[in-house]
Amino acid sequence: MSLCAVINPTAEDAYWHRVFRDEPYYEVPMAYGDYSPAYRVGYTAPLRREGSFDSLEEQLRQDWEGVKGSSRLTWPQARVAIRAAWDRVADHTHSTEDMA
């Protein structure tokens, strides 16, 4: 199954907006606007990049630097949010494939 068929950026954004404060890496006083660019890198990267998170980390960091805008997150803070979004998409893709 194609990742394009299972990744819905609008749904992913809504999900992360709803749960970001419950994530173990969330830091007060960060707002969703600080995390959203990181989540976007994480859930869209599998559409744009091939490989594992670890093998693509430097490219993901460059992606982050290019889209972070006014986010106050440092790379280490963004990295964990990117990884969370990446893992959610990967887990969702695998579970969808398993159900097919």
Q: Please identify which residue in the block is written with the tokens 């969370």.
A: 84
Q: Look at residue 6 in the predicted model and tell me its pLDDT.
A: 74
Distance CA 36, CA 16 (A): 8
Cβ neighbours of 99 (radius 10 Å) = 7
* 48 vs 15 pLDDT, higher one: 15
Q: Can you give the pTM of this predicted structure?
A: 0.87
8 Å CB contact between 13 and 56: no
| pLDDT for residue 47 is more than 90 | no
Q: Look at residue 5 in the predicted model and tell me its pLDDT.
A: 53
Q: Calculate the average pLDDT of the chain.
A: 89
Of 43, 48, 35, the closest CA to residue 86 belongs to 43
Q: Enumerate the domain spans of the chain.
A: 7-99
Task: Provide mean pLDDT across the span 29-52.
Answer: 94
Percent with pLDDT over 90 in the chain: 76
Task: Provide mean pLDDT across the span 35-62.
Answer: 94
| pLDDT for residue 43 is more than 90 | yes
